[in-house]
Amino acid sequence: MPNPDVAPYDALLLVSFGGPEGPEDVVPFLENVTRGRGIPPERLAEVGKHYDLFGGMSPINDLNRSFLAALRADLDAAGIHLPVYWGNRNWDPYLRDTLEKMAADGVTRAACFVTSAYSSWSSCRQYRENLYDAVEGVPAAPVLDKLRHYFNHPGFVEPVADATLAAVADLPAEVRESARLVFVTHSIPTSMNDSSGPVADRGAYVAQHRDVAAVVTARVHEETGILHEHDLVYCSRSGPPQVPWLEPDVNDHLVALHEAGVPAAVLVPVGFVSDHMEVIYDLDTEARATAERIGLPVRRAATPGSDPRLVAAVRDLLLERATVERGGEVARAAVGSIGPLWDRCPADCCPNPRGDRPALCGEGTNR
């Protein structure tokens, strides 16, 4: 049997957020993340203390290294012998350096898998702007195509559902059936959610999370016979207090559940691909401390991480997009009510809140 055809692609690029790998990296990293946003130095110092609890490191780079190893092994096993590169937008290896390396290696066209599954400026278009910046001025820079959103791909949703089932089963038997499923994602300004997605379908960020939460809740019902109530809540708010962000905060919500007589909760970090800082600090540290303080039994579901199903989903998305670019027809895997999204983001999708900036991988772009 011939190997799967990935033409026109001659490389795959993993695009991620990046994180500090030692105490000396923390403040420079946070300055990279918040540049141009007017975040006061004292707020950066406060956030920096979160990293002190973990030796001044974020786990995200090591998690990406594990994911890269699993991805390369999966592609090789499938007969796809494609070089896989990695670039971050906020820390080494920086996207610009990676694109220069790809150009030097003779890569002409690469598919990009971004470790952010949902639609919004910060979770999609900002990465596309970063890709534009990374190739700008690089001689012979490869053409880049961002693989489509995968929040509702079975390879992402099924590991989330299985992890939720495992967390429910780990609760004490006397509270298990009445436990609330609390789906958690990164908060963003409400205005950013209101402008997420194309003009005809704004509010995509929250809608996509709610759709996945409904699918996972239905799967738990199917497997256990118990229909748990569920909520979508938020963590990691970082903006000034006068700017409205998505609420409720996960800690406030746990207190409200306890006061309402809910006997237990399962935290499902549905907005996160792996256990990076928003998970190990905001949930495993802060939210767990809140739950212990009020006496609410809580379990936290695992993120997909390097689950073989998510790794295989990257291969599926790569082959899907390669077929489309060759003019072929594909069956696109998706669960839930929203359905598979576009290959190229609409021109009016998820605008930059601080003014228009060029971005790759969208309609009307020539790269």
pTM: 0.96
Let me know: does 192 contact 205? Beta carbons within 8 Å: yes
Neighbours of 139 (CB within 10 A): 7
pLDDT tens for 134-179 read 999 999 999 999 999 999 999 999 999 999 999 999 999 999 999 9
| Mutual angle of helices 308-325 and 60-77, in 10-degree steps | 60
11-150+306-325 and 154-300 share one fold: yes
Neighbours of 225 (CB within 10 A): 8
| Mutual angle of helices 154-170 and 308-325, in 10-degree steps | 160
Q: Where are the domains of the chain?
A: 11-150+306-325, 154-300
Q: Determine the pLDDT at residue 42.
A: 78
User: What 3-state class would DSSP assign to 216?
Assistant: helix
pLDDT tens for 210-236 read 999 999 999 999 999 999 999 999 999
Mean pLDDT of 3-7: 95
Query: What fold characterizes domain 154-300?
Result: Rossmann fold (3.40.50)
Tell me what percent of the residues of the chain surpass a pLDDT of 90: 89
pLDDT tens for 60-109 read 999 999 999 999 999 999 999 999 999 999 999 999 999 999 999 999 99
Distance CA 267, CA 170 (A): 12
> Taking the chain, what is the end-to-end CA distance rounded to the nearest angstrom?
33
The reply to whether CATH 3.40.50.1400 applies to domain 11-150+306-325 is: yes
Let me know: does 215 contact 158? Beta carbons within 8 Å: no
